[in-house]
A and B are shown apart, each in its own frame.
Chain A
């Protein structure tokens, strides 16, 4: 179980995973810019997603044994964990449907978007996931201050991502003539980023809640709510890991 591992090794693991993710992101950006192989992009996105799901969202906790009474906090947290994952699976079908819509309407073309901005917001979200992981690890080891600081950083980065997409990217795109009603590329772009931004927004609300309650020491003993907010936040990140190549990298840009 996660909290039985020692704190330092957990934090180090988080750093390593982040470095892998960063390298893979640069790699996919370069692949898209040079020989643009859809297969490679899918493979990279899959590996990135798997890394986050396993190491940041620790999906393995689902199968962990939960000894004890059905009324114990441990057991109830296990049930909550299952419930959250079921919700994420359900939610994933929305994003899957959006991807199907995007592939059906656009095929191997993509909207013409600002590549620098795309990479920037992607990086911001990945970095936020890194800090989220640190925050969660710290509260699991009773470090309230570290948890608060890291969660605050996550929140601010998440806010930055939201502003980057909704207030900067949407404006830029609209300025270039890509509007919701301009055609299939515009429809797919605004729908996908909009749906994702809505999830980011809800994630920010959860982060705000755990941060405010965490300041009052609510999670020093019972820290499942922090884990839930973190897993949800990482899930939103995984969605972007798939949406980023789907919108910015795959295929050729249409003007």
Chain B
């Protein structure tokens, strides 16, 4: 009996200690969305349960190891205890009730993170190898940064252009995959201003998966409106020149994830001083990067492969001839 009392006290002590210790370490990132609150609440409940169960198993084990260890010279066996059906039923039924309770709470909790605001602002999200593009259909603008007004629910309608990606801003907690060929949805209500958040792709998507991170900026409504007007003005301005339209296309399609514009190495050949230069081809020979070559390389990326880039496969984009001309005009400005 004495053993059970000591162990009981130790279990409680270790459980409390574990919980306090874990909690003081600051386990989760800052909660920055309305969805984070219920998730953090449930997580905290689970940390409590984990701490208790950890102590419940580890304490009697270590206690036995210290107290019941074999004395020197003792060769006899221990007491013959085969089992105890009551005990087995108890530690089957209590956990069963507990996990069913946990599942019920979990279902409620999931409901809370999915609460729908009918006035949510819609943003169409496109993921691609390797970057993000955010289209605001209400305002007719597209951006590679996700600007969000604080305390306003945003409905992200997401799809992917190539492989599966996953939308995750750790501070917002919730996560959703982007699947090519279908639209998945995610609702987020940012609650904390900030410009250091990043949406980080969390489903492996190829070579530069690690760098598939775009900024997420949460601002006051006023600042958001100002940003929208600014973007609209910029878009209108850029639309008037071929290189402006080309830049917009390049941004929207994430070309610069692979092709640098400053000569640095990347997954694909750099565009810096590309136009008019002599390009070495895989398998020998060179080609002059004139308009015809650039057009072919954009529409049929596998037709001529630049030496050193054999393992990479550029996806095929369905650009029109005018769009390609705009992009080429943009590439020509990179000198």
A contacts B: CB pair < 8 Å: no
